[in-house]
Amino acid sequence: MAEQQLGVLKALDVAKTQLYHFTAIVIAGMGFFTDAYDLFCVSLVTKLLGRLYYFNPASEKPGSLPPHVAAAVNGVALCGTLMGQLFFGWLGDKLGRKKVYGITLIMMIVCSVASGLSFGNKAKGVMTTLCFFRFWLGFGIGGDYPLSATIMSEYANKKTRGAFIAAVFAMQGIGILAGGFVALAVSSIFDKQFPSPTYAEDRVLSTPPQADYIWRIIVMFGALPAALTYYWRMKMPETARYTALVPRTSNKPHKTCQGLTSGA
């Protein structure tokens, strides 16, 4: 049995690059794209959150988040990411990559939407629920990181493994750029629809109440690429290497593994 498994792994290392390799790059890469967008988009709206929920009409400067609140809003998702990496990395080895891959994506979709729907209109309620949902968003993102990298490395052959993994990780940069683009686009649309005076001209009217929708839309937009990717993730078969090493898995083997084990 061990010799057969070793033979399969060696054959996978020299297998020809096929279409499913590039499909895996796109699917895993969209996970990294969504991860980067969700993690870094909140830093683009913290100033707006301060103006909306910590406005003081007696102050000469617009409202801003207190240091401890800003640290919580920006850092809580990273704390969840660390825990998610440890938990889902372990769970992926136990249950298989495919099963856990879908769970992490569902968490990311639900928590992205929930973050944008943070309850209440008072600072304490909004910030508390935002931090709560962003922690669990980070937990799902933490699971996506090791699984996407592992799945891509297990799909790739020895010759192209480095290039394929680099292509997947490169989607993080595109996700960060997309966050800035979405923030600029949404802000520009609202600025044209709801023009307002500067803070020096009118402190109260300088931030119209409709601005509360801006940060919510930006945060919730992260659920869109994750939702579009879900169907294709569920269509992905279990990786051949995992199937070869864990024969008790209930998932059907990848076609490459089937062909190798049958002597094709």
194 falls within a domain: yes
**Cβ-count burial of 132 within 10 angstroms (0-12 exposed, 13-18 middle, 19+ buried)?**
middle
Higher pLDDT, 6 or 260: 6
Full domain range(s) for residue 84: 32-239
Which CATH number fits the domain that encloses residue 108? 1.20.1250.20
Asked whether residue 84 is domain-assigned, the answer is yes
The answer on pLDDT for 1 being more than 90 is no
Q: Give the per-residue SS3 of the chain.
A: CHHHHHHHHHHHHCCCCCHHHHHHHHHHHHHHHHHHHHHHHHHHCHHHHHHHHCCCCCCCCCCCCCHHHHHHHHHHHHHHHHHHHHHHHHHHHHHCHHHHHHHHHHHHHHHHHHHHCCCCCCHHHHHHHHHHHHHHHHHHHHHHHHHHHHHHHHHCCCCCHHHHHHHHHHHHHHHHHHHHHHHHHHHHHHHHHCCCCCCCCCCCCCCCHHHHHHHHHHHHCCHHHHHHHHHHHHHCCCCHHHHHHCCCCCCCCCHHHHHHHCCC
Domain count, the chain: 1
Asked if residue 259 belongs to a domain, the reply is no
Return d(Cα 53, Cα 124) in angstroms, integer: 9
Q: At 243, which amino acid appears?
A: T
Task: Look at residue 136 and tell me if it is in a domain.
Answer: yes
- What is the predicted pLDDT for the residue at 164? 84
- Whether 47 maps to a domain, the answer reads yes
The mean pLDDT value for 223-248 works out to 78
Question: Is residue 257 in a domain?
Answer: no
In a domain, 204, yes or no: yes
Model pLDDT for residues 18-56, shown as the tens digit of each residue: 677 788 888 888 889 999 999 999 999 999 999 889 888
Q: What is the mean pLDDT of the chain?
A: 83
- Which residue has better confidence, 254 or 34? 34
Q: Which of 33-42, 101-110, 137-146, 198-207 has the lowest mean pLDDT?
A: 198-207
> What pTM value is reported for the model?
0.82
Q: Tell which wins on pLDDT, 4 or 39.
A: 39
